[in-house]
Chain A
């Protein structure tokens, strides 16, 4: 229960940050960090896959409502949700499974595995999102440049937050 409230509060914070701040960040006209995908990444392993998909869809839909792009983010985020369901078990060894709820993070998975897991989801999400947005293969070079710079930006942000969380829990101990 505690986890659920925490997750909802985090979600609200991240979504508001995404809508009000990060969507307006546009490095050299190319990169926009899409931090909200982090909410899909940190969904606990134990919840039903249907719920994971639905939550992913709702997160994307929430962003869509404020970006005025119906269905676009929902499409990419739902696909990211499915990939997270299918790839998360591959990164978990039995020794990690000592908590009753498994939330992917640097602490629970280790920096290396968490990085790979995040990278897969972010790449897929960005590819789908940017291609659905462009909806054509014209100006392919610009499209890829925007995609890659956004990916790097998003990865840096997610990793910074996770690292901060990791440090904070360490110091609390």
Chain B
């Protein structure tokens, strides 16, 4: 304590000096418009930088909730899109001169949110496990998509989990079509149909075989689902044409497709439920049976 007082007495003049200068600085900053604006501008810059750092740190902490919110929102939006598409379809047809019976505007597809809890990309037969099961309405043969594009098809489901066979599995075959890139003048045209397969190797690429030679394909064209299988609705993104060459018999193209979904960091997916699936399958089975009888 004694030393402290001595210290203050010894350097008192400097403290007094500092006090006066600080007081003068306060006067300058408060009293002069220009100096004040410069002072606060610089202060704002400093506080802004600090807040930026804080934001950069807390951003990661909140990421999980943000992801969940986004995924939930995606599901809602996709459901809305299905409703609107159906309505649009029915209105178009009712406007035609030929009297079509309008499509039922009832929701054809519904969407369920799910999270990937197990995933592999390095094996030949890859499978994905989701955290939703029959209790949540996920049943086998439902299709699974992510915001970037298609993922696969549900093959088995238990009460709380379900297993998806992704595109990255040689057993999966998905009917796809090439959609040329729309530019200013031309509307996007659907070109032709083939099936997407994957035979191991790089999880970023799959192959699309048996595309007829007459189709003009450019690199960068989109590949979308055709809607002819009863799994996926039409027009869901699959990937883009990375490269193409003629196959063994020269009549068909083999296309290397760069998949739009990155299977390595798949987190949230949506399970699509096609409402009339059973009806369609039953009818088709019946027709086949009927024709073989004759």
**A residues bordering B, Cβ < 8 Å?**
49-50, 53-54, 57, 60, 64, 69-72, 74-75, 78-79, 81-82, 85, 132, 135-136
Contacts and interface: CB of A to CB of B under 8 A. Distances in A.
B35 interface: yes
Contacts of A78: 17, 20-21, 24
A75 to B, nearest CB: 4
B16 A75 contact: no
A51 to B, nearest CB: 10
A75 B28 contact: yes
Nearest to A71: B27
Contacts of A50: 12-13, 16
Contacts of A74: 20, 23-24, 27
Interface in B21-36: 21, 23-32, 34-35
Contact of B28 (A53, A57, A81, A132): A132
A72 B23 CA distance: 11
Contacts of B27: 64, 70-71, 74
Contact of A71 (B16, B17, B25): B25
Most buried by B among A49, A71, A75, A82: A71
A70 B28 contact: yes
Chain A's interface: helix, strand, loop or mixed, by majority?
helix
Given A57-B24, A75-B21, A79-B21, A69 B16 contact: no
Given A69-B32, A135-B34, A75 B13 contact: no
Nearest to A52: B13
Interface string B1-44: 00000000000111011001101111111111011001100000
Given A70-B32, A71-B27, A57 B20 contact: yes
Nearest to B14: A82
27 contacts: A50-B13, A53-B13, A53-B20, A54-B20, A57-B24, A69-B32, A71-B23, A71-B24, A71-B27, A71-B29, A71-B31, A72-B32, A74-B20, A74-B27, A75-B24, A75-B28, A78-B21, A78-B24, A79-B17, A82-B13, A82-B14, A82-B17, A85-B13, A132-B28, A132-B35, A135-B34, A135-B39
A156 B22 CA distance: 31
A60 to B, nearest CB: 7
Contacts of B30: 70
Contacts of A132: 28, 35
Contacts of B20: 53-54, 57, 74, 78
B25 A75 contact: yes
Given A57-B20, A57-B24, A78-B20, A49 B13 contact: yes
A78 B16 CA distance: 10
B32 A53 contact: no
Interface in B243-279: none
Given A78-B20, A79-B21, A135-B38, A71 B26 contact: yes
Most buried by A among B13, B24, B38: B24
A60 B35 contact: no
Given A71-B25, A72-B32, 15 more contacts: A53-B16, A53-B17, A57-B24, A69-B32, A70-B32, A71-B27, A72-B24, A72-B28, A75-B21, A79-B21, A82-B13, A85-B13, A132-B28, A135-B38, A135-B39
A70 B31 contact: yes
Nearest to A58: B20
